[in-house]
């Protein structure tokens, strides 16, 4: 078939379609089409940045770098906070037991037949408590001095400057509407008026009631759009702003200094207030950015035990290496379960917080002893940092004994997880996220089995568990959207406990870590 014939047919079809359109299109539709045809709005710059990031994912490395830096910072802060004991401890003094304390301490070798029964040296505790009171009082005084100094110097100016900055930002954001480049609407008002009697009289009042954002400031350039009457505050605003509109039309943008030097007239202030009133953030947007997520993370939990006071086991123990080697231990199943609210901060970044229960657990193995045996546990003197040994009675042996018992070292925690998720890649249906978080936790209950000074025994003392702790998590997961609109999240998680399980008094530091798989369900609110 000849090419010109095809071309001709195509033209005919187009012509027929156009005729049909014209035939059926009534005046009203034509008016709507004409009026809205030239309507333009200028998108914010972030739209292009998002498009650019989607089109050129290989150039997004700075975002990765920032993510990594953030994660490293969180981990570093955690690790740095954990080194307090060892850094503040004074060099170790000889670990021989104090003869005086020994003489005042009754030794109970024939205790009731309860296997778990333990006894602490009361005299030692009493002396220790008195010392702690004095120490706490002096620390409190020092803290008060420090905080009052901070108030006088650092804190107050910082607050003031913060307010100045935010006030400036607010001013700039509002005034930017005045000085933004005018968007010219090429509406052919003359023809419209001719055809449909379009009225353009209440122009100025309409500007005041503008409900579109500051970027859409438009200039009425049609002949019929001049101001007729209505000499109210709006007119004043319009008149006083005429210079700025001229500047905008000329694409000359005054600097911030110029803006701050420019004294606002009553009309301008009224306009700004009105503008702010009509451009309040859409309250529904928060809701649309908010999701509810509940999840469970089964994991394998383990621990790392380390001395924090550089002591060597007394009585020539057979085992002198690090804490982990001194104990027969085994990883155990852990889990965390919780619910969080997720707030979308941007297209890629989400922040989340909520409540979570953690069960941490690992097992150590001990031999049952026939009779309760007295042993000592290494403790840090809270005042001097020196090592001292507290007496306990126990029926658990680490080296010698008969049957092997499994000791459940576990804690039940209530946490307040706070975290961020960053969308690395994905589309509407499937997304890949990387996340990090911190979990301040309250230890509700738990069992603590402490290794003795000579590494030959275990002692149960649940009171040695720290009441408050914190963990850091790093995770990556894939989020899959189901047809019902619910997102299912699955991915690996690493959880690391930032503070020792035990209180600072104990000369060992225990850090728990978990490797798990987080499974979550997210629903948009």
Partner 1 sequence: MTEELMLAGSIKNNAAAQEELYNRFSPRMLGVCYRFAKNREDAEDMLQEGFIKVFTQLHQYRNEGALEGWIRRIVVHTCINILKKNKKFSESVDLIHAKGIHIREDMIPSIMQAKQVVECIRILPLGYRTVLNLYAIEGFSHKEIGTLLDIEESTSRSQYTRAKAMLEEILVKKNIIHKSRKNNFGNASSR
Using CB under 8 A as the criterion, which residues of the chain lie in contact with partner 1 when the complex forms? 20-21, 24-29, 31-33, 35-44, 47-48, 50-52, 54-56, 183, 185, 187, 189, 196-203, 205-207, 209-213, 216, 218, 220, 222, 225, 282, 284-285, 485
Q: How far apart are CA 317 and CA 376, in angstroms?
A: 13
Closest distance of CB 472 from partner 1, Å: 33
Cβ(85)–Cβ(308) under 8 Å? yes
Closest distance of CB 283 from partner 1, Å: 11
Q: Is the dihedral of CA 415, 418, 424, 428 positive or negative?
A: positive
Which tokens go with 150?
């901070």
> Alpha carbon of 302 to those of 323, 333, 366, 442, 467: distances in Å?
13, 9, 17, 19, 20
Closest distance of CB 433 from partner 1, Å: 19
Give the residue among 521, 522, 523, 501 at the shortest CA–CA distance from 512. Answer: 501
Strand partners, 378: 389
Closest distance of CB 75 from partner 1, Å: 34
- Cβ closest to partner 1, residue 206 vs residue 312: 206
- Cβ closest to partner 1, residue 115 vs residue 200: 200
The secondary element (H helix, E strand) that includes residue 445 is strand 430-446
Closest distance of CB 50 from partner 1, Å: 5
Cβ(420)–Cβ(352) under 8 Å? yes
Closest distance of CB 29 from partner 1, Å: 4
Give the residue among 437, 347, 452, 335 at the shortest CA–CA distance from 392. Answer: 452
- Cβ closest to partner 1, residue 25 vs residue 406: 25
Give the residue among 75, 60, 40, 73 at the shortest CA–CA distance from 347. Answer: 60
Closest distance of CB 9 from partner 1, Å: 14
Q: How far apart are CA 314 and CA 435, in angstroms?
A: 45
- Cβ closest to partner 1, residue 203 vs residue 450: 203
- Cβ closest to partner 1, residue 42 vs residue 108: 42
Closest distance of CB 233 from partner 1, Å: 15
What's the number of CA atoms in the CB half-sphere (13 Å) around residue 293?
A: 29
Q: Are strands 218-219 and 183-184 parallel, antiparallel or unpaired?
A: parallel
Determine phi and psi for 11, rounding to 5 degrees. Answer: -65, -40
State the burial class of residue 174 (Cβ atoms within 10 Å of its Cβ: 0-12, 13-18, 19+): middle
- Cβ closest to partner 1, residue 51 vs residue 404: 51
Which tokens go with 394?
């126990």
Q: At 496, is the secondary structure helix, strand, or coil?
A: strand
Closest distance of CB 41 from partner 1, Å: 4
Query: How far does CA 344 lie from the centroid of its chain?
Result: 11
Q: At 349, is the secondary structure helix, strand, or coil?
A: strand
DSSP class of 90: P
- Cβ closest to partner 1, residue 45 vs residue 87: 45
- Cβ closest to partner 1, residue 203 vs residue 451: 203
Closest distance of CB 202 from partner 1, Å: 7
Closest distance of CB 184 from partner 1, Å: 11
Cβ(179)–Cβ(212) under 8 Å? no
- Cβ closest to partner 1, residue 192 vs residue 418: 192
- Cβ closest to partner 1, residue 91 vs residue 485: 485
Strand partners, 413: 358, 443
Cβ(352)–Cβ(421) under 8 Å? yes
- Cβ closest to partner 1, residue 214 vs residue 244: 214
């Amino acid at each position: 078939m000849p090419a010109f014939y095809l071309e001709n047919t195509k033209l005919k079809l187009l012509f027929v379609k156009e005729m049909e359109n014209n035939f059926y299109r009534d005046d009203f539709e034509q008016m709507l089409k004409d009026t809205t045809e030239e309507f333009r709005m200028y998108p914010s710059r972030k739209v292009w940045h998002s498009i650019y990031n989607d089109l050129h994912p290989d150039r997004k490395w700075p975002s990765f770098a920032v993510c990594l830096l953030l994660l490293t910072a969180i981990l570093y802060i955690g690790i740095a906070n954990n080194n307090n004991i060892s850094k503040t401890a004074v060099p170790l003094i000889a670990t021989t037991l104090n003869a005086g304390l020994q003489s005042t301490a009754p030794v109970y070798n024939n205790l009731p037949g309860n296997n778990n029964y333990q006894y602490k040296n009361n005299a030692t505790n009493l002396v220790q408590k008195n010392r702690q009171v004095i120490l706490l009082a002096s620390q409190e005084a020092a803290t008060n001095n420090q905080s009052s100094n901070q108030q006088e110097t650092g804190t107050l100016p910082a607050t003031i400057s913060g307010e100045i900055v935010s006030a400036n930002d607010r001013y700039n954001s509002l005034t930017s509407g005045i000085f933004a480049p005018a968007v010219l609407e090429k509406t052919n008002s003359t023809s419209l008026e001719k055809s449909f009697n379009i009225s353009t009289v209440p122009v100025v009042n309409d500007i005041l009631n503008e409900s579109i954002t500051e970027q859409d400031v438009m200039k009425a350039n049609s002949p019929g759009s001049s101001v007729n009457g209505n000499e109210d505050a709006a007119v004043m605003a319009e008149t006083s702003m005429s210079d700025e509109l001229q500047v905008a039309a000329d694409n000359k943008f005054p600097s911030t200094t110029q803006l701050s030097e420019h004294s606002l007239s009553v009309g301008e202030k009224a306009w700004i207030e009105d503008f702010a009133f009509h451009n309040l953030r859409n309250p529904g947007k928060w809701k649309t950015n908010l999701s509810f997520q509940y999840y469970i993370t089964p994991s394998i939990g383990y621990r790392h035990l380390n001395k924090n006071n550089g002591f060597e086991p007394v009585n020539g123990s057979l085992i002198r290496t690090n804490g982990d080697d001194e104990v027969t231990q085994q990883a155990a199943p852990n889990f965390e379960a919780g619910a969080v609210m997720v707030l979308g901060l941007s297209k890629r970044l989400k922040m989340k917080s909520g409540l979570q229960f953690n069960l941490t657990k690992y097992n150590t193995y001990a031999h049952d002893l026939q009779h309760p045996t007295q042993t000592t546990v290494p403790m840090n003197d809270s005042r001097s940092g020196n090592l001292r040994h507290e007496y306990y009675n126990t029926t658990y042996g680490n080296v010698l004994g008969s049957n092997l018992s499994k000791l459940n070292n576990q804690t039940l925690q209530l946490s307040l997880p706070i975290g961020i998720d960053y969308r690395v890649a994905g589309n509407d249906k499937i997304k890949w996220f990387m996340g990090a978080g911190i979990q301040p936790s309250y230890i509700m209950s738990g069992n603590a089995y402490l290794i003795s000074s000579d590494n030959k025994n275990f002692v149960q003392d649940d009171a040695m568990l720290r009441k408050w702790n914190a963990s850091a998590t790093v995770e990556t997961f894939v989020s899959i959207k189901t047809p019902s609109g619910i997102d299912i999240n699955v991915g690996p998680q690493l959880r690391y406990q930032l503070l020792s399980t035990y209180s600072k008094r104990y000369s060992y530091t225990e850090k728990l870590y978990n490797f798990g798989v987080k499974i979550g369900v997210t629903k948009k609110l």
